[in-house]
Structure 1
Amino acid sequence: MFSRISGQTSLQLCPGPQASLHGCFAMDFDPGATLGQAFRDMQVEAEPGHGAVLDLVLDEGMGTFGPPPDDRRPRLAWGQGPEGLKLSLCFDSGAIAPVSARDFLEKICLVLHALAESPDRKCDEIALIGKTASGLIPDLSKPIPGCPQESAARSFFEIARQHGEKAAVVGDAHVYSYDDLSGVTRLLGGKLRAAGLRPGDVVAVRGVNSFGMIAAILAVIATGGVLVTIDQTLPETRQALIERISCPRFLIRVGDREEPTGASNTFFTPDWPSRQTLQQLLAGSPPVEEVLFTPEDDSSAYIFFTSGSTGEPKGVLGTHRGLSHFLTWQRGAFPLGPGDRAAQLTAMSFDVVLRDILFPLTSGACLHVPPRELLLDPRRMLKWFHDNAITSMHVVPSLMKAWLQSRVDGRPFASLRYAFFAGEPLTDTLLSRFRDLASDRTRLINLYGPTETTLAKLFNCVDAVEPGVQPVGNAQPGADVVVLHDRRRLCGLWETGEIAIRTPYRSKGYLANDDLTQAVFRPNALSEDPDDLIYMTGDLGRVRSDGKIEIFGRMDSQIKIRGVRIEPTEIEDLLLRQGGVRDAAIATRVDANDNKILLALVVAEAPLPPQEEGAQANRLREALRAELHPAMVPARFVFVESLPYLPNGKINRKAISALDLDTQENKRDHRAALGESTKEEGALVAGLEGILNTPIDDLTKSFVEMGGDSLSHIQASLVVEDVL
């Protein structure tokens, strides 16, 4: 019968109260099977008056052929019409969107046509993209239109000219105007130019979140240097590693006092200058024209580091063009201006600190910098939001979740206009709690995009909170986002594959690593332009029938903790260099507060008595703390006899994730080791064990030795307050 399928199969939708099922069709064939084999395995029942009828289960994004859970069901019928095969679908229009139903029928047509033409074709070679899907999925053969923009530095100086006397930065009991910030920026830029800075020279800026750090960042961007931020709170070994990999020609130190080095390529600026010091600095500021650099399309702007699978962090080289594109889009979509107050929450070691700083400062808003210790004190932090009437912020969901676990008085986010969430899945439970503490006019925006494609390339304005994890939305202007199967075939609606981003505003790839750059930036097969590249994110996702992208997780072993991308092999390699370690693997668990934590599974060179495991774990923890970002230090160290491996010699991470690492017997042993304790001590131990997801056998240990980190510190402080 399939040989008679015409080229113009007609479709007919019959909406009605036929079923209460929800969703749309997805291929559920063996991808290696041929079409002929797949259809021979299907059971088709005939009905009087129809050529054939197929009963379907339509389950959201995971459609399968088979009996539904009750007698009411969508009905797909086909018969011969004047123009060829005619398909009809009866469905519940209140439960299934018509666009999903039409896309379903179009998929069936595509499969049937492919069956008639090539019955030996593999199932996973069929592109399930009909007319409905093609209206929602970008055409990769079409060029991406350019977006008008100006450089971030020029935008800042223009805002400073217009609003010179208005507040630009507030922090540490100081208020600095746009004139102040522009003046110090020009002073540092003039020093760099006088020292021989050329466009493209790498300039490292070492310090912590402060007025001086912000001015130094602006100075490097304004003069055409390539910015590298070195967060002074990182371990010294980590700071030295970043400096070694980036090879800066100049260094700007930001701090509370100058330490003369005698080096002609090193400069100093105070973090929070007094008014007297500020006046002295401003006296030597050159005009804007003497420091401002006009970037080309490919001019490099910054280097930020992500975790690397080779044991060293990877430097990602960003461009002025990409930075300007993002800021131009964000200012247009979410306008700020004088009178707005933005929170600067992101640490200096992450690329997203640029949107924290530059979004408000190229808009005329005021940037408020909280003391870093406040981030670990939820009640004081929420009070800070209220007292400063913050109107805009970027935040990682896990940090917000930790803050909201405290007892909250009033509505600390009542003044908030924009809440940008990024770095982790955004859940309905978090947003429901957050909405109770914000204003009805607060807009919730979910951002998505890796460092490699510049800050963010997808956004979702959450007008109505959906159950579960929120979608990451649609692409910004200037970007295409698709889902690919095996990195080659476009996926249709609701078909799961790898999220891929196409944009001319991407980064240049990885510093001094062309092989890795070429592995993830793939040529667009539908374009003759060699610079038309598509970045493979490694994230699994799908396109919904409303065009929004949903994200499910990673295709590889990469992990995200508190918004930080982590390659397990970087931690494992460092563990294997420690004495007494024969083998090691990194895994994740979800603790009692639904937070993801890192676990280190360690095989010792020689069997360790249980009483010595704690001391060895502390030694390993301190060794990692000396070299890694804090988010990369495991919360728990579990000693095992051996690790599971695959036949190819790689660690079997799926088997590791299934290991039962918690037994009541171990917990009883550890609890017994504490001996007699007061009621308060018992409550404290129980609370800390719930937070750290590990037994506590010694209350004389520091919180860090117990496996605590910055996020669990917030939760622990709440437990201590409640108990004591």
Structure 2
Amino acid sequence: MDVTLNNTAADYPKEKPLYALFTESVQQYPDKTAISFQHRRLSYNEVNNTANRIAKVLLEQGIKTGEIVGLALDRTPEMIISLLAIQKSGAAYVPLDPEYPKDRVEFMLEDSGAKVLLTQQKYKGHYAGNTIELIVEDVLAQSAGYSTEEPGIDVKGDDLAYVLYTSGSTGKPKGVQIAHHSLVNLMLSLQNKPGITNADKMLAVATISFDIAGVDIYLPLSCGAEIVLADALTAKDGRALLDIVRTQGISILQATPYTWRMMLEVGWNEYLPIKVFCGGEAMAKDLAARLIPLSKEVWNMYGPTETTIYSIIKHITSEEDITIGWPVANTQVYILDEQMNNLTNGEIGELFIGGVGLSWGYLNRPELTDERFIKNPLNDNPDDRIYKTGDLAKLKPDGDIVYLGRIDHQVKVRGYRIELGEIEFNLGKQDDIKEAVVIAREDTPGIPRLVAYLLLKSGKTGMADVEQISTWEKALLAVLPEYMVPDDYVLLDIIPSTPNGKIDRKALPKPDYSHINRSGEFVAPVTENEKLVASIWQEMMGLQNISKNDNFFKLGGRSLVAVKIMARIEQETGVRLPLATLFEHSTVEQLAARLDLGDEAISWDSLVPIKPQGSKMPLYIVHGAGLNVLLFNALAMNMDDEQPVYGLQAKGINGIDEPLDVMEEIAANYVEEIINHDPVGPYALAGYSLGGIIAYEMAKQMLAMGKDVKMLAMFDTYAEQTQKFDSKAKKAFDKVWLLIKQIAYTPILMLQDPKRAIEYKLRELRKRIAKIGQKAIPVEKKQGYSAYSNEIHERSLAAQRNYELVPVDIAIELFRAKKKTFYMDDFKYLGWRPYALKGVRVHDIPGEHNTIFAPPNDKQFGRVLQACLDEAAK
């Protein structure tokens, strides 16, 4: 099988340097746009001419073929142009992301022996080292009058193109050396599959310190396509990326699963004609299931930096068949056991890769190079080497390769390859830490977290102090990029071990996420927006008791969570904030204050968290005719501690929003709020009095959406059918007939509870008198709830009078007050039996219509309701 698998031989111009593919595009498409960036558009000619001029300045500095040039530039067209210029000078480049720690960048400059550092004015003098510092703004000005002819340096395919540093297991990054011909081979192979033409637009989002950036840049430039370059902030913002894809005709986007999830979280739900290149870490089944119907093609791309970006690719057409596929051109793949036997029968082994994409090895690390780049045991050629990936894999019967994870402790988090040993090494250098073990956990699906388990010299266990964590993080950030700093710290008294004495990483405990990295003492949120922000953070980050002073980043917040938070804030408030807002407003209090600036009045949301905490299926209760959801509080407090309860209050009680008077619209408003709060479900709905009718329509709408409505409850609601389709004669007859029945039933009410019957009749009489008075003397509107409650009440009753009940395929839990204070045609089922096609189950509760929530009735009501909820949730 391996012979067929490795039948990848293809002709390619091995003698050409990488930039030659670009210059061929320049000759063929001189006036076509090569790079778009914000409002700038640069043609192939403009890019080439500028690159040639910069290359000549580098040559004036004495740069020779094979020497190293460091590049530390922000994400602008000049970054890409400078990469081409360095190649044209004959030098190899070391990509340095300015967002990386200063010490780490300086280590790369020193270790690589970079002769020149090409950077920009804002970073002038920032990095120490034995390099000649060139400022790109000065270089562009200096070379403005230079000839745009090619520099004429003879660069060959066997020359070095770049040195890219990856995380190192011994505590130091290691530089991977890649030759020009390896990149040329990959670009030509990718032109064929997955495929790209000069008509494509490719959105570039990867940092240049991540090897996949090479595909972002050189693949489109190799064939006359257009690069749409995203700046650093946009590249981290799923909403901004989605907007670009939608509006700028993007046809190819390469990103990690982490970035694809960010885009899906912010509302990507329509088909977009793009090719999805998914690389950097393993593709999950659920991610594939979401991407396939929304895009033109989905490609799973696999490869270590040491074998030139991508070595194996697969067109994914079903989430049930996720593999990494087959090798790219001129690439050999082997799955070997510990004895170096070739496993072609589907057994699991370690993945080894050979071919023209193989790196020269690690710069200045011959021992590590010899360890990872070994002689191919399957042939006698002493010069044929293969790379030991450390990944587990197996072959399917059809030859596809299935990726099965890591052998060692190298992990992928948020698309970055991380040697956990490097983090452990740097933690171990802290004075108070005796031993450190770091693992990657994914206790919340889709949100990986780095967790550090520590033994302290002091013997302290449990939670680390805020000051301790701050000290450790400061030390780590000085030498490691942000993505390698642990999210959580757990203090242990012993590191668990296996019987043979090795660390038992599987036995490391799950952190207590409710007490993580807090900023001092708990201070409760006070304002509405503080409470809103805190509740959103709690839900999205899986934490409890968020303080107004808690910092998003110290809580372990990352981009994917930030996207979800900002999307939820937009849903709840209508205010759309960029992700960058979190850098300046990183606490609950600060972000809430920023939201305050965007609103002219307090937002009165319909969804009211009465008792939002709890792990059980939430219950959403719709207000009654009095519009007051506060009365549900006592009921909620008598339910299980883990039972969340939310109330729904009418639109318009702030005196600004127009009240609704159509039942379908009222229900749709509440449904929208519930789904914004919980898009997945399942759902339990309830309504009191008039609210029961609204809840019935809500359930009808949610079922039509395909939502899982586990329970629909009526709190003493009567199913009164509309008379709007009846003739005037029938309406008059029914009115008189109802009055007769009510009068006839009065003696029964008097016998059961004379005092209550009299009170009820007097209250109804007062209502009628008050209504007549309001018509005679209009009341001036005032600010606040009470001024608008009557108007909303009347509109709600109008909505009920015009609402036609129709049968729905659902069951109803009917909570019926034991005491009757008025006549009903159907005392047993309160009129619901014709409309609940799955039946009506009756629960008698103490009290009468207006007192079922009052003590002591609330206790029994709460117990019965909780039992129904628990049964429904099964």
Pair in the same fold by TM > 0.5:
yes
Asked if the contact 1:154/1:222 (under 8 Å) is kept, the reply is no
Amino acid corresponding to residue 20 of structure 2 in structure 1? R
Structure 1: gaps spanning 5 or more residues: 1-132
* TM-score (normalizing by structure 1): 0.73
| Contact 1:670/1:697 (8 A) holds in 2 | no
Q: Give runs of aligned pairs for residues 248-327 of structure 1, distance below 5 A.
A: 248-254=114-120, 265-270=132-137, 281-288=143-150, 290-297=151-158, 299-327=159-187
Compared CA separation, residues 703 and 686, structure 1 to 2 (3 A):
same
Q: CA RMSD in A?
A: 3.1
Percent identity for Structure 1 against Structure 2 = 26
1:156 maps onto 2:50 in alignment: no
Distance in 2 between residues matched to 1:423 and 1:321, nearest whole Å: 22
- Looking at structure 2, the residues matched to 284 and 447 of structure 1 have their Cα atoms a distance apart, in angstroms, of 41
Q: Secondary structure at the match of 1:641?
A: coil
Contact 2:307 2:359 in 1 (8 A): yes
- What residue number does 2:582 align with? none
Distance in 2 between residues matched to 1:512 and 1:263, nearest whole Å: 17
Task: Pick the aligned partner of 2:49 from 166, 174, 183.
Answer: 183
Counting only pairs closer than 5 Å after superposition, residues 264-663 of structure 1 correspond to structure 2 as 265-270=132-137, 281-288=143-150, 290-297=151-158, 299-408=159-268, 410-411=270-271, 414-416=272-274, 418-438=275-295, 442-462=296-316, 464-467=317-320, 470-486=322-338, 488-608=340-460, 613-645=465-497, 650-656=502-508, 659-662=509-512
1:241 to 107, 113, 123: 107
Which aligned pairs between 1:182-201 and structure 2 lie closer than 5 A? 182-201=48-67
Mapped to 2, the partners of 1:663 and 1:334 lie a distance apart of 42
Q: Secondary structure at the match of 2:265?
A: coil
Aligned-partner SS, 1:489:
coil
Answer 1 or 2: higher relative contact order, Cα 8 Å, separation at least 6. 1
Per-residue CA deviations over 1:222-258 (Å, capped at 9, x if unaligned) read 2221110111111212211211221201111145697
Q: Distance in 2 between matches of 1:648 and 1:228?
A: 42
DSSP-derived class of the 2:465 partner:
helix
How many residue pairs get aligned? The number is 570
Q: Distance in 2 between matches of 1:405 and 1:705?
A: 23
Find out whether 1:699 has 2:548 as its counterpart: yes
- Residue segments in structure 2 that go unaligned for 5+ positions in a row: 574-874
Aligned mates of 2:505, 2:199 — CA distance in 1: 51
Verify the 8 A CA contact 2:376 2:385 in the aligned structure 1. yes
Structure 1 pair 605–529 and aligned structure 2 pair: CA distance change class (3 A) = same
**How much does 1:144 deviate?**
5.9
- Partner amino acid, structure 1, of 2:554: E
SS in 2 for 1:240: helix
Give distance in 1, aligned partners of 2:68 and 2:455.
41
Name the CA distance, whole Å, in 2 between partners of 1:616 and 1:264: 37
Alpha-carbon separation, structure 2, partners of 1:626 and 1:671: 24
Task: Select between 252-261 and 194-203 the one with higher mean Cα deviation.
Answer: 252-261
SS in 1 for 2:280: coil
Please list the CA deviations of residues 182-227 of structure 1 after superposition, one character each: whole Å capped at 9, or x if unmatched.
Answer: 0111011111222221111011111122111101111112222111
Correspondence 1:25-40 to 2 at 5 A? none
Query: Compared with structure 1, are the counterparts of its residues 514 and 663 closer, same or farther at alpha carbon in structure 2 (3 Å cutoff)?
Result: closer
For 1:308 and 1:241, the matched residues in 2 are separated by 13
Greater percentage in helix = 2
> Residue type of the partner of 1:701?
D
Verify the 8 A CA contact 1:190 1:291 in the aligned structure 2.
no
Secondary structure in 2 matching 1:169: strand
In the alignment, is the contact (CA less than 8 A) between 1:671 and 1:695 conserved in 2?
Answer: no
Query: Compared with structure 1, are the counterparts of its residues 209 and 526 closer, same or farther at alpha carbon in structure 2 (3 Å cutoff)?
Result: same
Separation (CA, whole Å) in 2 of partners of 1:260 and 1:554: 37
Distance 1:305 1:611 in 2: 34
Residues 164, 179 of structure 1: 8 Å contact kept: yes
Shift of 1:511: 1.0
Equivalence map 1:22-61=2 (5 Å): none
Report the AA paired with residue 278 of structure 2: F
SS in structure 2 at match of 1:718: helix
Bigger radius of gyration, 1 or 2?
Answer: 2
Is residue 572–residue 585 contact of structure 1 (8 Å, CA) maintained in 2? yes
Range moving further from structure 2, 212-221 or 237-246? 237-246
CA distance in 1, matches of 2:269, 2:9: 48
Query: TM-score, normalised to structure 2's length?
Result: 0.61
Letter in 2 for 1:715: K
**2:584 alignment partner in structure 1:** none
Structure 1 residues 467, 265: closer, same or farther in 2, change over 3 A? same
Q: CA deviation at 1:655?
A: 2.6
Secondary structure of 1:490 counterpart: coil
Report the CA distance between 1:650 and its aligned residue. Answer: 4.8
**Deviation for aligned residue 1:490:** 0.8
Aligned pairs (5 A) from 1:47-196: 133=1, 136=4, 138=6, 147-149=12-14, 150-196=16-62
The superposition leaves residues 60-95 of structure 1 with CA deviations (integer Å, 9 ceiling, x where unpaired) of xxxxxxxxxxxxxxxxxxxxxxxxxxxxxxxxxxxx
Determine the C-alpha separation between the residues in 2 that align with 1:612 and 1:524: 49
SS at 2:261 equivalent: helix
CA distance in 2 between partners of 1:263 and 1:220 (Å): 19
Letter in 1 for 2:277: F
Residues 163 and 177, structure 2, Cα contact 8 Å, conserved in 1: yes
2:207 aligned counterpart, secondary structure = coil
**Cα distance between partner residues in 1 of 2:57 and 2:568:** 50
What is the alpha-carbon distance in structure 1 between the residues aligned to residue 409 and residue 123 of structure 2?
43
Equivalent position SS for 1:233? coil
Q: How many Å separate the matches in 2 of 1:682 and 1:508?
A: 56
Shift of 1:707: 1.6
Would you say 1:203 and 2:69 are equivalent positions? yes
Contact 1:591 1:691 in 2 (8 A): no
